[in-house]
Amino acid sequence: MKISYKKLWILLIEKDISPVQLRTDLNIAPGTMTKLRKNEEVALSVLLRICEYLDCNIGDICDALKDE
């Protein structure tokens, strides 16, 4: 399985929050942001911080997709 953060990017647009603002406000490392952009695995603690910041559930920012 692989992960998709497409929902995160859509939610940021809906809330008018830029990825730079998210990274700055949560002190997320640039490498972690790159992993998010590339749909790579990110630490659960980072995802939970994002959820708290956006006041949402983890399912609102990512999806687990079956490999084709």
Q: pLDDT by residue (tens digit) across 9-62?
A: 999 999 999 999 999 999 999 999 999 999 999 999 999 999 999 999 999 999
- Structure pTM? 0.91
Residues spanned by the domain of 54: 2-65
| Structure tokens, 9 | 């990017």
Residue 51's CATH number = 1.10.260.40
On whether the CB atoms of residues 53 and 25 are closer than 8 A, the answer is yes
Q: How many domains does the chain have?
A: 1
Contacts of 41 (CB under 8 A, 6+ apart): 3, 35
